[in-house]
Amino acid sequence: MRKDQIDVVRRFNRAITQRVGALDDAYLSRGRSLGLSRLLWEIEPTGSEVRQLRARLGLDSGYFSRQLRRLEADGLVTTDADDSDGRVRRVQLTRNGLAERAVLESSSDELAASMLEALTESQRDRLIGAMIDVERLILASQVRVQIVDPPDRDSRHCLRSYFEELGRRFDTGFDPAQSISASDEEMTLPNGLLLVANLLGSPVGCGALKFHPDARIAEVKRMWTSPDVRGLGLGRRLLERLAAEAEARGMMILRLETNRSLTEARHLYETAGFAEVEAFNDEPYAHHWFQKDLRRDRKRH
C-alpha cells in the first residue's frame, strides 16, 4: 500500500475521534470514557456471554476484565455463571445499568444529529453514503481467515449453515450423504484443509480443499459466506486463499462444481479466472463444472 493512502487513513482517524468525543474522559458527559461507555452499550438488554462480548469488541482479556469490574463496582452490571452451562459466564445489566444504557442511546442520537444538522440535505446524503461504504470496508478489514480443524465449534457452525442454505436453495433440497464426500478427515492436513473466516468473534464463512497429490489437483468444497457479510468480497478472498494454499502444496489444477441455483457463485468463479469445463465427476447436485490452471496464474505473477 502507498504512503499517501496511509496518511489519509490517519487523518480520517484523527478527525473522527475528535468529532465523536473519543478523547474525552467523560464521554457524552456521563462521567466515563468512550471505551467504558461502549462496553456498557454493547451488553444486550437480555444479557451477553462474556467470551463473545470480549471477542466482538476485540479487547485484551486483562483490559476487558478491568473494565467489566469498573461497571460492576458502579452497580451497572453483574457477572455470573450461565444457568444452563456453568462453564459460561454471562454479564447482565442491572436496573441502573438498563437506565444508563437508555441515556447513552438517547445521547448518542443527539451526537449523531449534531453531525448532520449543519449540513445541507445533499451533504447529509453524501456523508451517510460515505459512512455506509466506510463501515462495510472497515468490517471487511476485520475479517480473519485461518485454517481450522473441522470439529471446531466455528467450523461446525459454518458447515451446518452451508448445508441448511443449500437445502433451502436447491430445487431438490440437499442431503450431504448423497453428495461427493468432504469428510473431516478429507478436510484435515495432509489430505485437505478447511478455512474459516471470523469477524469480531463470530464465524462468517468457510471454504475447503481436498487434495489429490498424484494428479496434483485440488477440489474446492464447502464454500459459504454468511448473508450478513455478503458484499464485502469475502467469497473472493476465501477463493484466492484456497488457490494460494493449493499452489503452496504443489497442486497445479483447482477444480469445483456448483448448482444452477447458485448464480452468484457461478459469477464469482467466472470472474476469478475459472473456466467452465465438461463434467469431471458424478456429483448429483452439480450442473456446472469449473477449473483453474494455477500454473498459468503463476506465470502471470
pLDDT, tens only, 218-267: 999 999 999 999 999 999 999 999 999 999 999 999 999 999 999 999 99
Beta bridge partners of 162: none
Buried b (16+ CB within 10 A) or exposed e, 191-208: ebbbbbbbbeeebbbbbb
pLDDT band at 151 (very low <50, low <70, confident <90, very high): very high
Residue 189 confidence (pLDDT) above 90: yes
15 pLDDT tier (thresholds 50, 70, 90): confident
Share of residues in the chain with pLDDT > 70 (%) = 98
Q: Is the pTM of this model over 0.75?
A: yes
pLDDT beyond 60 at 8: yes
First CA to last CA across the chain, in angstroms? 18
Mean pLDDT score, 168-185: 96
> Cβ neighbours of residue 2 under 8 Å, at least 6 residues apart?
none
pLDDT of 298 above 80: no
* pLDDT of the residue at 199: 93
Residue 301 has pLDDT above 70, yes or no: no
Instruction: Please name which of 180, 184, 187, 193 lies closest in space to residue 256, comparing C-alpha atoms.
Output: 180
| Cα dihedral: 4, 115, 33, 78 (round 10) | -120
Q: How confident is the model at residue 300 (pLDDT cuts 50, 70, 90)?
A: low
Q: Please say whether the beta carbons of 145 and 241 come within 8 A.
A: yes
Residue 296 has pLDDT above 80, yes or no: no
